[in-house]
Amino acid sequence: MKKRILISATAVVILFTTVSFKSDFFEIAKQIEIFTTLFKELNMNYVDEVNPAELMDSAIEGMLADLDPYTKYWTEQEVEDARISNTGEYTGIGASVLTRNKTITILETYKDYPADKAGLQAGDELIKIGDINIADFEDDAGDLLQGAPGTSIPITYKRQGKLQTTSLKREEIDIEAVPFYTLIDNKVGYIVLSKFNKKASSETAAAVKELKSEGATSIILDLRGNPGGLLTEAINVSNLFLPKGKLITTTKSVIEKYNQEYHTRNEPLDTEIPVAVLINGRSASASEIVSGSLQDYDRAVIVGARSFGKGLVQRPKELTYGTQLKITISRYYTPSGRCIQALDYWNRDESGNAVRTNVADYNEFKTSTGRKVYDGGGVLPDIQIESAGMSAITEALLRDQAIFDFATDYFYKHNYSKLEDFDFTASDYAAFKSFLDKQGFAYQTQTERDLEKAYIIAEKDNLQSEISTEYANLMKTIDAAKKQQLDIKEREISKLIIDELIKRYFYREGLYEYQLTHNEEIAEAKSILNNSIRYLKVLNR
């Protein structure tokens, strides 16, 4: 009798699952048919001529916008761009650019690459590429810079309001995952890992080996500003310092096949050498897998500011005509069980914005030695450096390109030929504040947004007239407090200005050299690595 009941229950589950699948399949087919007929009728009957490709792009973007910012539709060119990013090799001009509103602005030129050889500088706005005016180009103007190695192209650009011309010869560009490493004080190895492309673990391993051969007795791994990349490379970099067979991350999804565990697969490079890892608010994804796993196993001291908090995994899915869908397939968890995802894209606020996980909702986990760590908001460093953080005003300055624009203005007014002569003074910071006033810089805090919502609701409750005076006074108080933030966060903001300026005068290589003796995070990492008692105490060993 029991056996019959069991079989019947199983049959019910199978039947339910099958019916559920058929129901979903029917709904998908139904919605596709509705959309297809709508798209056809719109293109055939709309009062003005429409562009089917643009309409479809808008439809796709609108559909994906309700999910998360990492689920994206890639055109053929974007698929190629992603391949380049992962391999670290491409043909181009050797510069990072910002393409926005039919303009291309040079953000940074790399030393001895084509853009640099052509005399282009950060802040230059490209006006014309070859015979094509960028303002008139309908597609992604950045594609105009691509081409076969060895081919030249004339460039017209605007610098400080004046038009200039140059000729740029494209070359094969090799992007290094580890652009800089050196030995500090003859005993501390310092390695910058800027991205997790296919070269990340091999270049990091080579740097560690060379530094150890030169006398390094400890390692600083700098992941600040590293946006992530390949999951396999994150595991391999962790494996350099962790034994074979260690769990590095677990991925979980409603799709069973995406539920996987990822372990180290190779013999480690060194499981004993003291390690400090630097992170900040722009360290994301693979950077958080590495820093999170080394923290969970108490293998490294993490120094800096809370990381970005991207706990989502994407995988590209092939579509037709060479296009792809990069789709979020799962969440990843550190060895202790933490998911460090900071933003909830599935439960948005009234404005449709993703909600940041509240600190009160963080869950506690334990490292291998019993230290407390938490989920929900990125990787929190063991040692936090206040000036390494990213306050609301700093994020607004970066978002509005205010620091970048000031650096451009400063660069053409001040001359430095030697790195050791560079000095950003208090009067320079005062000039920065004056620059912001002239540019009309403004930003809105979360407090202001919430108060504004409450004030609007007050109208519906017939209370707006009663609280209007208090509301106006409160907004004035907040405005005054916001202005004070420029002084309160001077160290935090000045560091970013200095970093931007050093790159202008002495390239990124100069920035790395400058930070060795002027950066608080590096100084703190050196301090703890040179104090074995303190190092072991932080790790609870």
* Token pair of 153 as six digits: 């192209």
Burial of 278 (C-beta count, 10 Å sphere; 0-12/13-18/19+): buried
Which residues are part of the catalytic machinery? 285, 296, 310
CA dist list (Å): 69 to 99, 224, 310, 319:
18, 21, 11, 19
Which distant-in-sequence residues (6+ apart) come within 8 Å of 531 by Cβ?
A: none
First to last CA, the chain: 58
3-state secondary structure of 324: strand
What does DSSP assign to residue 314?
Answer: E
3-state secondary structure of 540: coil
Give 446-449's long-range contacts (Cβ < 8 A, gap of 24+): 446/392, 447/478, 448/475, 448/478, 449/351
Element spanning 273, H or E: none
Residue 154, Ramachandran bin (φ over 0: left; ψ between -120 and 50: alpha; else beta): beta
Cβ neighbour number for residue 525 with a 10 Å cutoff: 29
Residue 288 has φ and ψ, to the nearest 5°, of -80, -30
Which residue type, as a one-letter code, is found at position 256?
E
E strand intervals along 194-284: 218-222, 247-252, 260-263, 275-279
CA dist list (Å): 279 to 151, 226, 510, 526:
40, 8, 20, 15
Which distant-in-sequence residues (6+ apart) come within 8 Å of 217 by Cβ?
A: 187, 188, 273, 274
Cβ neighbour number for residue 325 with a 10 Å cutoff: 16
Residue 379 in contact with residue 279, Cβ under 8 Å? yes
